[in-house]
Every structure is written in C-alpha cells, then in structure tokens.
Amino acid sequence: MNHQTPEYQAKEYLFDLNNTANENGFKAEENWKVSLATAAQKAVIEKNYYPVIATKVLPEVLPGLFRIVKATLSQGLDNFESSMDAGTLAKSELYYVVAFNPNRLRR
C-alpha cells in the first residue's frame, strides 16, 4: 500500500482528529478549524491553542489531502484553497495542515 497518497494520509489525519477530539472531551457542537500554515504560523497556533493536530505534507500531496479533510469535515474551501496547487503552496511556504478548536485557548 502506498502511504504517500492523499487518500491514505487524509484517512490517517482524520483518525488522529477523531481520537484527539474523543480524548479531550469535545462536545458534539465543537468542531475543528482546519487550515494550511507555514512553520511560523503553525508555531503560533500551537502556542495559543490546545489541542492542535499538525502534519507536514509533501507539496505534491497537500492539495488533495487538504481538500479531502475539508470535505469530510463539511468545511468549504475559499478561493485560494480551491485553486491551490503544489507550486503555489511551495511559493507560499505552506507545508502544514493544522487543525485546532478556536474555542479552546491554551491557558
């Protein structure tokens, strides 16, 4: 099995999101906010929120993985997200998929 496919990596990422939500007692109305981030943006999110699930992904795999995760979580794509490709992500230095709950600030 190829572990570098967007489908496989999305399945693993969604599994991690579900486990973390269960372990941290997420209520039914609590949701993850999923976004793309640079290393610096990821560090800021990790400093301000808990829990955070972040993974670094190859630019060739990232667009597919991100779209699958957003679709599975019933979250829409903005204009940039729907038109992104590996080249634009590499230029923007967006290498991470980061999920956090904006209502769960780190104390």
Average per-residue pLDDT for the chain? 91
Query: Which position has the token pair 């080249």?
Result: 87
Least-confidence region, from 20-24, 25-29, 76-80, 96-100 = 76-80
- pLDDT tens-digit readout, 23-70: 999 998 899 999 999 999 999 999 999 999 999 998 889 999 999 999
| Interatomic CA distance for residues 102 and 105, integer angstroms | 7
Confidence of residue 78 (pLDDT cuts 50, 70, 90): confident
Average pLDDT for 68-76: 92
Mean pLDDT confidence for 77-90: 83
Which residue has 């929120």 as its token pair? 49
Determine if the pTM surpasses 0.85: yes
Distance separating alpha carbons of residues 30 and 4, to the nearest angstrom: 30
Residue 86 pLDDT exceeds 60: yes
The residues spanned by each domain of the chain are 6-100
- 33 near 99, Cβ under 8 Å? yes
